[in-house]
Amino acid sequence: MAALLLLLLALCCRGLQPADVHLYSNRYQGDQVLRIIPSSHVEIQLLKQLFQNMTVDLWQPSSTSYINIGSSVDVHVGHSRTESLKAHLQQAHIHHEVLISNVQKEMEKQAGHRPSRKRRSEFQYDYEVYHPLVEIQEWMFEMNRTHPHLVDLFSIGYSYEGRPLYVLKLGNRKRLHKKAMWIDCGVHAREWIGPAFCQWFVKEAVNSYQHDSSMRRLMNQLNFYIMPVFNVDGYHYSWKTDRFWRKTRSKNAKYHCRGVDANRNWKVKWCDAGASLHPCDDTYCGPFPESEPEVKAVARFLRKHRKHVKAYISIHAYAQMLLYPYSYKYATIPNFDCVETAAQNAVSALYSAYGVKYRYGPASTTLYVSSGSSIDWAYKNGIPYAFAFELRDTGYYGFLLPDALISPTCTETMRAVRAIASGLLKKCTS
Kindly report whether the global pTM for this prediction surpasses the value 0.85.
Answer: yes
Asked whether residue 36 falls in the same domain as residue 73, the answer is yes
The counts of H helices and E strands in the chain are 14, 12
327-378 pLDDT, tens digit each: 999 999 999 999 999 999 999 999 999 999 999 999 999 999 999 999 999 9
pLDDT in tens, 62-113: 999 999 999 999 999 999 999 999 999 999 999 999 999 999 999 887 755 4
pLDDT of residue 123: 53
- How far apart CA 162 and CA 360 sit, in angstroms, is 37
Distances, alpha carbon 66 to alpha carbons 62, 214, 339, in Å? 7, 41, 26
Quick: pLDDT tens for 293-328: 999 999 999 999 999 999 999 999 999 999 999 999
Same domain assignment for residues 229 and 328: yes
- Structural domain count, the chain: 2
Regarding whether 96 and 170 lie in a shared domain, the answer is no
User: pLDDT per residue over 7-49, tens digit each?
Assistant: 444 444 443 444 344 468 889 999 999 999 999 999 999 999 9
Q: How far apart are CA 300 and CA 349, in angstroms?
A: 32
Stretch among 43-57, 257-271, 291-305, 370-384 having the lowest mean pLDDT? 43-57
**Is residue 390 annotated as part of the catalytic site, yes or no?**
yes
CA dihedral 47, 50, 52, 53 (to 10 degrees): 170
Domain for residue 321, yes or no? Answer: yes
Instruction: Give the span between the Cα atoms of 203 and 387, in whole angstroms.
Output: 22
Q: What is the CATH number of the domain that holds 97?
A: 3.30.70.340
Task: Compute the distance between CA of residue 253 and CA of residue 186 in angstroms, rounded to an integer.
Answer: 26
Q: Does any domain span residue 210?
A: yes
Give the closest residue to 310 by CA, choosing from 383, 226, 219, 381: 383
Pairing of strands 309-317, 385-391: parallel
| Residue 13 domain-assigned (yes or no) | no
Distance CA 376, CA 386 (A): 8
Which range marks the domain in which residue 94 is found? Answer: 29-104
Q: What is the pLDDT of residues 392-419, one digit of tens each?
A: 999 999 999 999 999 999 999 999 999 9
pLDDT of residue 19: 39
Domain CATH number, residue 177? 3.40.630.10
Together in a domain, 99 and 147? no
Q: Which of 138, 294, 390, 412 is catalytic?
A: 390
Tell me the angle at which helices 213-221 and 406-424 cross, rounded to the nearest 10 degrees.
60
Asked whether residue 62 falls in the same domain as residue 137, the answer is no
pLDDT category of residue 175 using cuts at 50, 70 and 90: confident
Task: Tell me if 37 sits within 8 A of 48, measured CB to CB.
Answer: no
